[in-house]
Structure 1
Amino acid sequence: MIGAYYDTVFDAAQAQGLPVETAADYAASAFLDGKPTRQGKRKSSGAGRHAAFWASDFLRTLPVQAWQQESLGLALARYLGQDRFACPDILAHVAKLAPDVLQQAARHAGLVLRQDSARWREMEALADSQPETFSEFVQLFRIFKQAHRLRVDEIERLRQPLASLTPLDLLAYASLCAFEHLLPDLLEGRDMPKAPDAQEVWDAVEDILAWKLGTCDAAGLRLTDTAIAASLRQHLTPFLFPSSEAPGPRHDLYAAFAALLDAQIELDAFISRSAEAFSYDDGVRFVRQGERLEIIEVDAQARAAWRIDGDKLNRLHQYWLYRGMDALMASPELLALVSPAHLEANLQAFAKAMGTWLRLQEVYGVAEQVRSEAGSSVDVFRALLATELMTAFYIEDFLRPYHQHLQQLGHPWLALGRLAFGGLLQPAMQNRFPITWSDRAAKIARITPWTVTPEHPKGQAQAAEAILDFWTSDWSAVAERLREGDVALRPRWQERPVLMMGRHLFQLPWMMAVQNNATAAVNNLRRLGARRNEAREETRRIEYRLGALFEQRGFRALVGHELPAGASDDADAGEIDLLCALEGHLLVLELKSTYQRRSVKDAWVHRTSTLRKAGWQLHRKVPAVRHALQRDAALRHALALSPEAQPQITAWIIDTSIEWDHQAFRGFLKVSLEEIQIALRDERRWLNDPEGLFRAACVGDATTRLAADSEPIDTLYPGGFSAKQFIEVVETAAVWTGTA
């Protein structure tokens, strides 16, 4: 029965002679892991588990040391993060026993931005009963609430002049803003440390468009040629082609959009750098100085780790481009498909697509074909190639000429007008506006030549259609989800950058030309597509491919090994993702496959859910493996382990994401899957940009060179590869040293 489940877990741990703190940790970990999953024949509900856990008798008898464990603090954060179940007496109990734990749980629950919650009212009540402990804490929250309210109210006010505009109208002003304020700095390579970066601006524009999609009339998304022409004639072309015979530019609306954008950037920055930092960044502390707050850094090492992980991610992008170039140069068939027009840009597009394809295969287990949301089967490499060729097209045919016009004319509107007019003068009247659009048939025709293969020298329209589906975000569907309050998996527009309104498809050259298509592809599949039918197969494929890479180095590898019943004292040990043995060393690997995160909040959730659970799994599995090796001769034989000697066991959490790299979870090291692969392949050199491809100052004058065959400039194994040396390379993070 679920009501006694957690007391039973606690009692069983104590019966094994474990300390009370450990027994409480076991029970709290079971709760955090969603156990029990069923109550009789029915699935257990989250509210039911809360009710059962917080009613457990053992919680009222725990010493302060038990509450100071991470699992108990996270359980409190889970309670404070929901509104379906109330148990205020447990807060009063912990407040007297371990107030610092409760305060941290309130932060981790994100209550600073949820002060309308019933759980926050329970916290506020503690300021009355224990003012010396909680009144200052509550005051901090109230300052955050006021600051947040001021920013939200300002945005509500600034939205009013734009309330009647359609999403396309807003896209016009966003595009004008991008060409005036974003692209000149990017093209010139200027460093603007006090200004928001491009990603912050894009995110703010996306938030504004999400507001518009959630509030606009559905008819505003069923665009016709007439509606598109009317919108652009009023909101875009007067800036590009001013005329005394036509209505002038709507500078008032452009100024209103710019003001709203600034306010949205400010709100987003407040949330990410203040509210979410307060909630999820344990490397800082907020101190009240009168009616304002100051941030004090309390753990410089933890904050530096976040920046270092970001640098590693950038270097991994370099690594995969070099891998892609190497694969491209080894494929005459692919090289034959590269168009001689804009040869350098097209070569780079092919190399980038190949690098991302290798990454999706080796790191994420993606097969050659996947299903789009529309149900079509997509050739993944061709989909990647299509988006990279789109980027190359927008760089060569939009950004470069725009940059030249801007240098000549000195004003963004004049430069944009020259660019658009030049397109109209071409024989086929090319669209060179800041927004491009076409109907579905025309877009398929445009993509079809990019699907050329030796078997289909003219390409395939069906393949082009599938590619289009893969990259398309249906704004009518997104708007419906937003109106219903479902924002959990709203596509970031870079993840699906072809925007569908009615039968027309829109793209933004100013975004497509500079976005990271590799990240877009990964998150398209692994974030938005996490529930795809292929996702489970991909996870298994990751394990097998990594196992094969270990075998190439001489390891014996077992994938998905199930310990036989009775082989372990721990009935919950479960499946071992990967066992690898060589030279008396045995690696026990727990693999986790997720997506690439951008916020401190998302990273914290990953650490306290997926990675915390992985550490707990290894905590159970390593003793189970050791126990099985003592009894299972077949297992030792399969791993080529000597029957006499005990192997030296090393256990790691292997994760497809870079967050929390080289940190320990229950004593087990977490490393990225890509680091393991690079260490096994001995390819550290490609992390260090040996050809200088990433040293170009900016988009406008960047040049790209394909790497020639070159000798490795260093090796991780100067004395030859061995299991012991490999383990040392990983545990000392040697892959990341030796920067060029």
Structure 2
Amino acid sequence: MVNIIQEHTYFESMHESLIAQGYCFDDSAIETIEAYLSGKPVKSQKQKEVNKNKLFWSSAFLWDLSDQVLNSETFILALARYFSVDNFSNVSLLEQITYKAPKAIRKGIRSSEIVLRANSGKWIEAQQLAERSPDELDELINICKAFQKVHKDCLELVAKYQTPFNALTVFELLSYSSVYAFKYLFDNPEALDGSMISTGERFHALKELVEWKLRIAEPNSFLLNDSVIGKSLKIHQAPLVFPSEEDSYIPDFYLYHFEKLMQAQVELDGFLSRSVMPFCFDDQCEYYLDGGRLEMHKNSDAGDQVWLLNGKKQSLIDGYWLNRGLQEFIDSGLAGGMMGSAENHEDNQIAYIKSLGVYLQLTEIYGLNKSIQTDNGLKVDIHQALLSLELMIAFYNKDYIKVFAANLHKTGDWQASLGLLALSGLIDPVNMHNRFPITWQNWKKKAQSIVGWTVSDTFPKGNIKAAEAILDFWSLDFKKWSAQLKTNNHDNLPLLTERPIFKVGNYSVQLPWMMASQLTGVNVINTLRRFANKRPELKSETSRIETNLGNQFTKRGFTVIESYHPERKEGFNPGEIDLICVLDNSVLVLEVKSTYRRNSKREAIRYKHATLRKAGMQIKHKTAAVKQLLQTDSQFQSLLGIKDPDLYEVIGWIADTSLEYDHEYFNGYLKVSIEELHIVLADTADFLVDYIELAQNQAPLKEDDNEKTTLYPSGFSAAALVNVIEQAKVWAGR
């Protein structure tokens, strides 16, 4: 009985405690709601699991919330969580909230993404609320039903074109996908609405289709050998690559239906990303029904512009690291030496420079060591792994994409060009190469083939164990992936494009078109920070992220305190303060966050609502704690070298490895990327160049040192640094 009382009074007790500390009712309510959103109460090992939703939504103080709190972003996010879970309901409370704050209820329902969960208990509850308050919710419910109908139609169309592929293996689905990719390599296919399907849309659609296939795959789908592959190619690919007068009905049928399947999947993906996602999260998008047809009016495209600007910044950051890689390459003295054969020398140099740039990014920004452990327990040298993938990218571009492009220029026919590409690998009978649209190799032989890429002073002839570790690092085991998909455990699933060597049974399978367009930096960051986020090295890497950033402040003359733990007292527990940096009359307090790159607006929005909002609360408390300690703790003053705290301004920032929502404010505190801080502290903004332009021009560095500019024309100071950061001067004119 005691446990039940404790459970039901947790948030009430917190609310009352904050009021006792001097908080007004509204501020106490907001703090308590924030605690719910951040996952409290935290269960200890001795405690039984508690229903946090029941605990919160049973709280009596929720009945007395003011209109201001009810319509706050914080409470709307709490409402979104309420409608996203089915393990507790408080219909009476929700009826009152609907009466007092109908706009908040509508926004909470939208933000919960319940629109596509027509079978959930909360969708039934939302309809019941609409029956009791039709003027406030009827229109929204009808719009949701219209969304559900369109979604159902899209799913049925995808299922229709999936049907012919039920009997095919995963290898055969990939085989058709690669023929399709080459067919439209330089000519975007048409979508159902007549628009062109972009490369990004094709990547995403293929990921969804492969995941579908793996969810229904039989165990024998992963049993590959040369005989099985040969028979499959003879039926499904050879007639397309080498057209003849013989009957090619089967591959023609499947290729036609694969194109239709891609159109249907792109239509579904587009509906989710361009219609459902804005409905759930974009306040500028107003939806209405016109004669039963779902329509949208957009009041502003500001959100889209921010997303595009973020992409531009990311391209500049990528260019920065490529420039850094080139500078490191020149400084190392490697630029004057021959890399491999004369034929491959230039491609090898570019691959080495790109891998160096990503390596510097990983070590300086993400805190990685020289080597890490793979999924199978093998130790892999990070730079060797990066270089190996870059060399593969160079190989597939040179021997597949460029050859196919030259053939297409001559023939004007994609099938003839694909046939010539395949034949180019068969010209020398003694030294034949696979130049089909899909490549495969026995796993052990594949590892042996890249041993030469592991040559070092320690292993002048390379090392097979190192090659196996590299292969393991970049591989996606389809059998394991299939098992995970079948359990509906979609947490931290890898992306098809981020681990581009597919392990199917004892074979490695690669898609040349996909390999040629890899982004090594994105792949490794997301592999290590999302998919492999339970690695034993992660904690030390996170610590080094803070240390590396602190070292940059130290180089500029700041006094830096890292991982400071204020003594916990009653009513005072700010937690660990990641970085405190003092110079001149400024005290910078930094809350450091490390994460991966988001691939969609939906992912980014979820990150904003969860991690960044929480970071805003954390930096608010920690900045306040530093201010309090400066006034009350002489030891703390001495630690920072401060004699008169009244002369100092305390500034709090959220420092994040990602660029999402860069230079926005959370709880009144600026969020800035860790990379920007490194660049600003090192005064190396000249290295910021658009990655795409950089890769095309291959002439990124200024040769004349006199042309270099500085972010601090009047000299460096803490105030100048704060001004450069808060005014986003590093991005000005770029």
Q: TM-score, normalised by structure 2?
A: 0.95
Aligned partner of 1:5 in structure 2 is 10
Q: RMSD of the TM alignment (CA)? A: 2.0
Which among 709, 712, 715 is matched to residue 714 of structure 1? 709
Counterpart residue type for residue 638 of structure 1: L
SS at 2:460's partner residue?
A: coil
Which digits, 9 at most, give the CA deviation of each residue in 1:61-99, with x for residues without a partner?
212222112221111111111122222222212111111
> Is the contact between residue 283 and residue 303 of structure 1 (CA under 8 Å) also seen in structure 2?
no
Counterpart Cα distance in 2 of 1:49 and 1:170: 44
Matching residue of 1:189:
none
Contact 2:315 2:692 in 1 (8 A): no
Q: Would you say the 8 A contact 2:562–2:579 is kept in 1?
A: yes
Q: Which moved more, 1:502-511 or 1:57-66?
A: 57-66
Deviation string 1:305-341 (CA, Å, 9 cap, x unpaired) is 2221111111111111111111111123587573243
How far has the Cα of 1:377 moved from its partner?
0.9
Deviation at 1:645, TM superposition (A): 4.1
Task: Pick one of 95, 99, 123 that aligns with 1:96.
Answer: 99
* Per-residue deviation, 1:146: 0.5
Give the superposition deviation at 1:485: 1.6
Residues 325-372 of structure 1, C-alpha deviations (whole Å, 9 max, x = no match)? 111111235875732432222211111111111111111111111111
1:393 aligns with 2:395: yes
Query: Deviation of residue 636 (structure 1)?
Result: 2.4
Per-residue Cα deviation, 1:159-186 (whole angstroms, up to 9, x for no partner): 1122111111111111111111134569
1:102-251 matches, within 5 Å, as 102-184=105-187, 194-244=195-245, 250-251=251-252
Does structure 2 retain, via aligned residues, the 8 Å contact 1:3–1:52?
yes
Give distance in 2, aligned partners of 1:235 and 1:68. Answer: 58
- 2:564 is matched with which residue? 561
Q: Which moved more, 1:7-16 or 1:200-209?
A: 7-16
Q: What is the Cα deviation at residue 246 of structure 1? A: 6.9
One-letter identity of the residue aligned with 1:431 = N
One-letter identity of the residue aligned with 1:486:
N
Ranges in structure 1 where 5+ consecutive residues have no aligned partner: 187-191
* Shift of residue 28, structure 1, vs aligned partner: 0.7
Write the distance in 2 (CA, Å) between the matches of 1:417 and 1:708: 44
Residue 33 (structure 1) shift: 1.2
Counterpart-to-counterpart distance in 1, 2:632 and 2:96:
47
Partner of 1:704: 698
**Match of residue 725, structure 1, among 720, 729, 732:** 720
State the partner residue of 1:373. Answer: 375
Contact 1:584–1:641 (8 Å) recurs in 2 = no
Separation (CA, whole Å) in 2 of partners of 1:676 and 1:85: 44
Q: Is the alpha carbon distance of 1:300 and 1:259 closer, same or farther for their aligned partners in structure 2, counting shifts above 3 Å?
A: closer
How many angstroms apart in 1 are the aligned matches of 2:39 and 2:188?
Answer: 49
Match of 1:694 among 692, 696, 709: 692
The 3 A distance-change label for structure 1 pair 644 and 627 is: closer
Question: What does the per-residue CA deviation read over 1:228-256, in whole Å, with 9 as the maximum and x for residues that have no partner?
Answer: 11111111111111234575662111101
Question: Kindly tell me: are residues 245 and 121 of structure 1, through their superposed partners in 2, closer, same or farther at Cα, counting changes over 3 Å?
Answer: closer
Do 1:342 and 1:396's aligned partners in 2 also have CA atoms closer than 8 Å? no
Alignment match, 2:447: 444
Q: 2:69 aligns with which of 66, 83, 88?
A: 66
Partners of 1:719 and 1:636 in 2: how far apart? 29
Quick check: 1:319 aligned with 2:320? yes
Residue type at the aligned position of 2:412: G
Q: Deviations over 1:400-431 (max 9, x none)?
A: 11110110111111111101111111342011
- Say which SS state the counterpart of residue 560 (structure 2) adopts: strand
Deviation by residue 1:662-683 (Cα, 9 ceiling, x = unmatched): 1111100001111111111111
Which of residues 450, 457, 475 is equivalent to 2:460? 457
Cα distance per residue 1:506-542 (max 9 Å; x no partner)? 1111011012121111101111011212111111110
**Cα distance 1:125–1:675, how it changes in 2: closer, same or farther (>3 A)?**
same
Distance 2:29 2:431 in 1: 72
Distance 2:44 2:401 in 1: 60
The match for 2:33 is 28
* Partners of 1:456 and 1:246 in 2: CA distance: 53
User: 8 Å contact 1:238–1:248 — kept in the other structure?
Assistant: no
Name the residue aligned to 1:667.
668
Moved more, 574-583 or 336-345: 336-345
Mapping of residues 411-560 of structure 1, within 5 Å: 411-426=413-428, 427-560=430-563
For 1:539 and 1:237, locate their aligned partners in 2 and report how far apart those are by CA, in whole Å. 50
Q: How does 1:642-657 map to 2 (within 5 A)?
A: 642-643=643-644, 645-657=646-658
Q: How far apart, CA to CA, are the structure 1 residues paired with 2:407 and 2:549?
A: 50
Alignment partners' CA distance in 2, 1:97 and 1:299? 28
2:730 maps to: 735
With 303-312 and 101-110 compared, the bigger mean Cα shift is at 303-312
Match of 1:311, SS state, is helix
Worse-superposed segment, 373-382 or 637-646: 637-646
CA distance in 1, matches of 2:144, 2:246: 56
Separation (CA, whole Å) in 1 of partners of 2:136 and 2:154: 30
Query: What is the CA–CA distance in structure 2 between the aligned matches of 1:441 and 1:113, rounded to whole Å?
Result: 45
- Partners of 1:184 and 1:403 within 8 A in 2: no
Alpha-carbon shift at residue 496 of structure 1 (Å): 0.8
Q: Distance in 2 between matches of 1:408 and 1:375?
A: 49
SS at match of 2:365: helix
Following the alignment from structure 2 to structure 1, what is the Cα–Cα distance between the partners of residues 496 and 338? 29
**C-alpha deviation, 1:395, in angstroms:** 0.7
Cα distance between partner residues in 1 of 2:44 and 2:399:
62
Partners of 2:188 and 2:198 within 8 A in 1: no
Aligned-partner Cα distance in 2 for 1:7–1:284: 37
Query: Per-residue deviation at 1:440?
Result: 1.4
SS in 1 for 2:380: strand
In structure 1, the partner of 2:641 is 640
Check the 8 A contact 1:37/1:43 in 2, yes or no. Answer: no
**Which letter maps to 1:4?**
T
| Counterpart contact for 1:473–1:496, Cα < 8 Å | yes
Distance in 2 separating the partners of 1:418 and 1:40: 65
**SS state of the match for residue 727, structure 1?**
helix
Q: What TM-score do you get using the length of structure 1 for normalisation?
A: 0.94
Q: Is the 8 A contact 2:317 2:689 kept in 1?
A: no
Amino acid at match of 2:415: W
Distance verdict in 2 for CA 1:213–1:644, change over 3 Å? closer
Secondary structure (helix, strand or coil) at the match of 1:42 reads coil
Amino acid at match of 1:695: E
Q: Which moved more, 1:280-289 or 1:437-446?
A: 280-289
Mean CA deviation greater in 703-712 or 302-311 = 703-712
Partner of 2:22: 17
Measure the CA separation in 1 of the matches of 2:335 and 2:641: 42
How many residue pairs align between the two structures? 723
AA partner of residue 62 (structure 2):
L
* 1:76 and 1:102 in contact (8 A); partners too: yes
The offset of 1:562, in angstroms, is 0.8
Indicate if the aligned counterparts of 2:338 and 2:345 stay in contact, CA closer than 8 A.
no
Question: For residues 69 and 550 of structure 1, what CA distance do their matches in structure 2 show?
Answer: 37
Match for residue 47 of structure 2?
42
Task: Tell me how far apart the structure 2 counterparts of residues 385 and 334 of structure 1 sit (CA, whole Å).
Answer: 16
Question: 1:274-328, CA deviations, whole angstroms, 9 ceiling, x for partnerless residues?
Answer: 0111112233222322222332223433332222111111111111111111111
Residue 3 of structure 2 is matched in structure 1 by: none
- What CA distance in whole angstroms lies between the structure 2 residues aligned with 1:170 and 1:717? 56
* Aligned residue type for 2:320: Y
Q: Secondary structure at the match of 1:531?
A: coil
Shift in CA distance, 12/620, structure 1 to aligned 2, threshold 3 Å: same
Structure 1 counterpart SS, 2:544: helix
- Cα distance in 1 for partners of 2:188, 2:280 equals 33
CA distance in 2, matches of 1:417, 1:58: 72
